[in-house]
Amino acid sequence: MTFQTPSSNPITLAGAPMGDVLHACAFFNSDVEGCRVLTPFIREGIEAGEKAFHIVSAAGCDHHLGHLRDADIAVDAARERGQLDLHTWDEIYFADGTFDYQRVLDTMLAHMTQARDEGYARTRLVSRMDWALEDYPRTQDLLEYETRFNLEPNPGNPVVCVYDLAKFRADVIIDVMRVHPIMVIGETLQENPFFVPPEQMLAELRAR
């Protein structure tokens, strides 16, 4: 892959700069809390002329777009010009009826590469991770997928994986923490002291 020079525009999440570490998990207790943190991040990217790539449930598309409109983000114009790319879980994670983490990783990187080819210096990816609770084959590969994301070439593109604390078991949340170098918790962005290097985590997953 050949990428353009990464954008020099700042990346702010939860009121703090993300710096060079761009794979974050964000834990929220409610949609209100999540919207409060994610909306400025989304607005910042759209106003900077960056690509927005969002993945939500099919049932949540209208709610997601409605919230952005309520926040005075010009989502309809952004979608019309191709800047805001909204997809459902079925389109990205379950395109062939099962969860194949390598296919999903390839799809993500292909979208980011296409955005660069279209002239966008950066793609901001936001994904609701409730898809892992759906009744599809191989959703148990969630941690393998999140771990391998850290090994993929992804210069300059921030990725925020959004987890609802009310829906995921505590042990899953702990493991999710371990595969993200930075995290948002309590509406605060912080370096993750529990992060495990991906090679070490993959060895642990194989041992399990």
Residue of 8 and 138 predicted with greater confidence: 138
Residues 6+ apart with CB under 8 A from 35: 67, 71
DSSP state of 175: H
Q: Does residue 4 have a pLDDT over 70?
A: no
Note the pLDDT tens digit of each residue in 148-200: 999 987 778 999 999 999 999 999 999 999 999 999 999 999 999 999 999 99
Worst-scoring range by mean pLDDT, 2-6, 32-36, 75-79? 2-6
Instruction: Please report whether residue 115 resides in a domain.
Output: yes
Answer for the pair 183, 27: CB distance below 8 angstroms, yes or no. yes
pLDDT band per the 50, 70, 90 thresholds, residue 99: very high
Mean pLDDT score across all residues of the chain: 93
Instruction: Please report whether residue 9 resides in a domain.
Output: no
What pLDDT, on the 0 to 100 scale, is given for residue 154? 74
**How many structural domains does the chain have?**
1
DSSP string, 144-167: HHHHHHTTS--TT--EEEEEETTT
Q: In whole angstroms, what is the distance from residue 105 CA to residue 195 CA? A: 20
Kind and range of the H or E run holding 79? helix 75-80
Q: In whole angstroms, what is the distance from residue 202 CA to residue 197 CA? A: 9
The three-class DSSP label of residue 14 is coil
What pLDDT, on the 0 to 100 scale, is given for residue 1? 28
Instruction: Please report whether residue 187 resides in a domain.
Output: yes
Answer for the pair 126, 158: CB distance below 8 angstroms, yes or no. no
Instruction: Please report whether residue 103 resides in a domain.
Output: yes
Note the pLDDT tens digit of each residue in 9-62: 789 999 999 988 899 999 999 999 999 999 999 999 999 999 999 999 999 999
Task: Give the structural domain span for 147.
Answer: 20-207
Q: What is the CATH number of the domain that holds 178?
A: 3.40.50.300
| AA letter at 162 | V
What pLDDT, on the 0 to 100 scale, is given for residue 5? 41
What pLDDT, on the 0 to 100 scale, is given for residue 156? 87
Instruction: Please report whether residue 121 resides in a domain.
Output: yes
What pLDDT, on the 0 to 100 scale, is given for residue 7? 54
What pLDDT, on the 0 to 100 scale, is given for residue 185? 95
| AA letter at 59 | A
For the entire predicted model, the pTM comes to 0.93
Q: In whole angstroms, what is the distance from residue 98 CA to residue 4 CA? A: 33
Note the pLDDT tens digit of each residue in 50-66: 999 999 999 999 999 99
